[in-house]
Structure 1
Amino acid sequence: MTIGFDIDHPEVLDLPAPPPRAVVAPEPARIAGVGTAVTPESYTQQEVLDLFAISDPKIRSVFLNSAISRRHLTLPPPDSGGNRASEPQGDLLAKHARIAVDMGLRALRSCLDDAGAGLADIDYLCCVTSTGFLTPGLSALIIREAGIDPSCHRADVVGMGCNAGLNALNATAAWARSNPGRLAVMICSEACSAAYTFDSTMRTAVVNSLFGDGAAAVALVAGDGEAADGPRVLSFASHIITDAIGAMRYDWDGDQNRFSFYLDPGIPYVVGAHAEQVVDRLLSGAGLPRSAVNHWVVHSGGKKVIDAVRVNLGLTRHDMRHTTGVLSDYGNLSSGSFLFSYERLLGEGVVEPGDYGVLMTMGPGSTIETALVQW
């Protein structure tokens, strides 16, 4: 009961309490479209070895046993003697700005075409990159170059590495869910050619054998404007392996006077050992066993990383076919790799309504990110 007061009859009145209001949870965001882009030039691993005249048998073995057939790269031009030298850090930053914006714009247009939307429909833009530092960020440059409404909400995720695509997808899906009917877009644009160091060390050989240039974009919308056939983004789960925080990093190399990647040889085993923990936590939140997952979309982190994840999760090679296919055709594309695999999955036409999918990325931290989706 609630207490009321009547002016004509000032005695206290007992009034019935109003019925409780039903709390309606907002609809999850759906993936409405996806698009990808790469740089124009691509090379086989043998061609890269030849271009840089790499003869060390150990380094050649790293390249040729990487399970990578071809990668898109933007290499420095040859000098007068036909040699390709490392570029100064300033040139690399300029290369990153040029390539990341160009690829990002092309991936964005492809994504919007897939979603049946236009630039004027974008209300939120989140841009992800780890291969260079820009201020103003990639989002501002893309908004200017594309002619997107300057009042568009935006965010930049910088320096989180290969796992960052799912970190940003989490934020983008949350914005879409909070703003039903409005289009949110995430772009991952990684100009990995702008983060290479060329020397004779095994540290750089591992990195130089692995990464390629690529960008991917995904559009999300919730509520009345949702796409009927796009999967709903249900939940996320994350795990940082703090004992291995330095196993993957991009930091200053004083010998080279530039930033460079470092990848610890033990990464595959560290990631594999923790994969079950985070995936099972993701699925338990929805009351699902691992066997309920119909589709696995995993970051193409490298041959040994992929094998470690597959074995520890009890997956088949067929489950990981798109992950290994993207690795073979493009190398490791950093934060956008999983969206290249997602695009291939959709292209197969095998997804059925009600199917569950797990998206999974791995990167510095060392970090494993996961998301549960349902068509």
Structure 2
Amino acid sequence: MVRIASVAAVLPEHVHAQAEIADVLAPLLTADQRLWPAIRRVHGAEGIETRHHALALEDYANLTTFQRTNDTFLRVATDLAAKATRRALADAGLTATDVDYLLFTSVTGIGAPSVDVMLADRLGMRADVKHVPVFGLGCVGGAAGIARVRDYLLGHPHDVALLVSVELCSLTLQHGDASMANIVSSGLFGDGASAVVMVGADRSEPGVEVVGTRSALYPDTLDQLGWDIGGSGFRIVLSPSMADIVEEHLGDDVADLLAAHQLKVSDVGTWVAHTGGPRILESAARALGLPDEALAASWASLARAGNLSSSGVLHVLADELAVGGQLPGSVGVLFAFGPGVCAEVVLLRWPESTPDGRPVGAP
């Protein structure tokens, strides 16, 4: 069985209250002061208390070209990726030279060589490490990354794999754009990174089993979520219909994956939902028929750091693993959404006991 041996979630050091961020960003979005109170209200309705940023708030006024923002992305992303990876490997009792396969995902910056190559160089990974950079998955990248790494490890049961996600959403801010999509985006998305160590069936490292996965592409939704990429960089495409799409499709996707393993929604003990925003989380809960507290970990992560795109669901997973308390052998479901519109659902199973024989989650 493929297992998640460790998850490390990190945030940049620059952290500010949501209201303070709105005060700084509103003048960058528009010079029309009459719109600033409305921008503050939109930011205040996102369910977010604080967000972390790649740079100090005062530095965003100078990020007026794509070259400058992307250069910043490559520098900061590599630093955060290294920090998350070192922590994840240490928690799993492994080193950089143990890594056989590295998948890197981000949708907020690009590079050639890509961040995975710079990460491998910085940490001293083996010269024969297989590395795959992925751009374009967006918010679904963390869930899809777990699924695709599992696919690899099923065929390479002796291997150690590493999934690394870095999203610096603040660097995609579009100056002088007071569109509702840009206003919402500037108040919803935060910056963060994560690293997930996964191992094949023939490895000895313990962890949470990745039992199965399901991918879905929803028809007639190509214009609902993504980037409009141009001279100023990444301009957000964010439809207010996203929550409706989630509510329409998620229930069937989850039910189908569970049914393939002789399970149903009531059998799931842990839900790891992408922190897409208040409406996304509410729609997901309705689609699955869940009580409010079922997605409490995702709501808490959203309040603490905002929507971290592909890293968001991995931060929630890290929180769940850190808190523990799951029943031995219980199942969990992790899910996220991305451009397409697409979804990825992952079925997890907690171990029966810790390596020393205690029930999982026991003190």
TM-score higher than 0.5: yes
Aligned to 1:4: none
Aligned to 2:357: none
Aligned to 2:148: 171
Letter matched to residue 80 of structure 2: M
Q: Secondary structure at the match of 1:209?
A: helix
Aligned to 1:64: 44
Aligned to 1:292: 267
Q: Percent of aligned pairs with the same residue?
A: 30
Structure with a larger share of its residues in helix: 2
Give the one of 40, 46, 53 matched to 2:13: 40
Q: Secondary structure at the match of 1:338?
A: helix
Q: Secondary structure at the match of 1:197?
A: coil
Aligned to 2:182: 204
Q: CA deviation at 1:275?
A: 0.7
Mean Cα deviation higher: 174-183 or 48-57: 48-57
Q: CA deviation at 1:240?
A: 1.1
Aligned to 2:253: 278
Q: Secondary structure at the match of 1:365?
A: coil
Aligned to 2:358: none
Q: Does residue 337 of the first structure (1) align with residue 315 of the second (2)?
A: no
Conserved 8 A contact 1:29-1:226: no
Q: Secondary structure at the match of 1:134?
A: coil
Question: Taking structure 2 as the reference length, what is the TM-score of the superposition?
Answer: 0.90
Q: Does residue 247 of the first structure (1) align with residue 224 of the second (2)?
A: yes
Q: Which runs of 5+ in 2 are unaligned?
A: 28-32, 351-363
Q: CA deviation at 1:85?
A: 4.8
Give the one of 18, 22, 45 matched to 1:49: 22
Runs of 4+, deviation exceeding 3 Å = 52-55, 75-79
Give the one of 76, 99, 110 matched to 1:122: 99
Aligned length: 342
Taking only aligned residues, the RMSD between alpha carbons, in angstroms, comes to 1.7
Q: Secondary structure at the match of 1:357?
A: strand
Q: For the pair shown, which has the larger CA radius of gyration, 1 or 2?
A: 1
Question: Taking structure 1 as the reference length, what is the TM-score of the superposition?
Answer: 0.87
1:187-222 alpha-carbon deviations (Å, 9 max, x no partner): 011111221213333221011001111111111112
Letter matched to residue 5 of structure 2: A
CA distance in 2, matches of 1:321, 1:173: 27
Q: CA deviation at 1:53?
A: 4.9
Q: Does residue 347 of the first structure (1) align with residue 317 of the second (2)?
A: no
Distance 1:140 1:113, change over 3 A: same
Q: CA deviation at 1:87?
A: 2.1
Aligned to 1:213: 191
- What pairs with 1:1-375 in structure 2 (closer than 5 Å)? 28-54=1-27, 55=33, 56=35, 57-75=37-55, 78=58, 84-199=61-176, 200-228=178-206, 230-253=207-230, 257-375=232-350
CA distance in 1, matches of 2:58, 2:287: 44
Q: Which runs of 5+ in 1 are unaligned?
A: 1-27
